[in-house]
Amino acid sequence: MNQIDKEDILKAFHFRHACKEFDKSKKISEEDLQYILETGRLSPSSFGLEQWKFLVVQKPELKEKLQPACFDQKQITTCSDLVVILAKKGLYEPGSAHVASMFKRWNYPEEIYNMLIDFHAGLAANYDLTQWAVEQCHIAAANMMTAAALIGIDSCPIGGFLPDKVKEVLDIDSEKFQVGLIVPFGYRLNPQPPKTRLPFDELVEFR
Please identify every stretch of the chain with a pLDDT value under 70, giving residue numbers as ranges.
none
| DSSP, res 88 | E
3-class secondary-structure state, position 14: helix
Which neighbouring-strand residues pair with 85?
Answer: 54, 181
Domain ranges of the chain: 12-186
Where does 12-186 sit in CATH, by number?
3.40.109.10
3-class secondary-structure state, position 75: helix
Give the pLDDT confidence score for residue 1 in this predicted structure.
72
Give the pLDDT confidence score for residue 18 in this predicted structure.
97
Residue 64 to residue 86: CA distance in whole angstroms: 20
Q: What DSSP string runs through 32-70?
A: HHHHHHHHHHTS--GGG---EEEEEE--HHHHHHHGGGG
Give the pLDDT confidence score for residue 160 in this predicted structure.
97
